Amino acid sequence: MARPARNPGNGSRDRILAAAAAVLTEKGYAAARLTDIAEVAQLRAPAVYYYFDSREALVAEVMIVGQQWLRRHVTEALDALPPGTAALDRVCTAVDAHLRVELELSDFATAVTRNAGQLPADVRTQVGRESAQYHAIWRALISEGQSDGSIRTDIDPRSARMLIIGALNWAPEWWHATAQSIDLLISTAQSFIRAGLSAP
């Protein structure tokens, strides 16, 4: 059975969403059943249909909430930096925030990265709109870095962005807290990204 979800809300609807995020993270879209979700939420299965018209509607909301959670956490981390922080340092802050929200703070974000490729086309379209807003943050960071001289200009910014986000999103598939601290993981990721992006 899936573990209790992280970030549960107080009401039944929030509990269902959090439970669905936990089940999607553990089992994936194809194997996630409403009965499993109801069990983790500690509700009867018919209660799920009181709040959501279908399994797909529930999954779509989980994925959208996951994208919003990740974007908000990264944005808040960037906004907390002192004015004038170099764009490459801001990229490293975004790396830290992304990994922490995926690996420590939210089943919602992990559910997104693990299930994005399995979704029906209509759900994927909805999630894609949220994803585009998150990618816009990274697009701006790399563009700012190439403008302020902290990020090299001889690389393709789109490729750099996709490679970075892809690597960060893959971390939940292999990282385990019992084998390595998250702080060491983050510092290693930042070192790799800084070395790859730094202007001479």
pLDDT tens, position by position, 106-140: 677 677 777 777 777 877 787 788 889 999 999 99
Does position 147 have pLDDT exceeding 90, yes or no? yes
Q: What angle do CA 88, 93, 96 make, to 5 degrees?
A: 130
Mean pLDDT calculated for residue range 80-103: 94
Q: Which residue has the tokens 């959501």?
A: 52
Task: Output the CA torsion 4→177→33→98 (10° steps).
Answer: 100
- Per-residue confidence (pLDDT) for residue 106, from 0 to 100: 67
Q: Binning pLDDT at 50, 70 and 90, where does residue 48 land?
A: confident
Q: Binning pLDDT at 50, 70 and 90, where does residue 104 land?
A: confident
Q: What are the pLDDT digits (tens) for 6-20?
A: 444 447 888 888 888
Closest alpha carbon to 86 in 146, 158, 134: 146
Q: Does residue 71 contact residue 130 with C-beta atoms inside 8 Å? A: yes
CATH level 3 topology of 56-197: Tetracycline Repressor; domain 2 (1.10.357)
Domain segments of the chain: what residues? 56-197
113 vs 97, higher pLDDT: 97
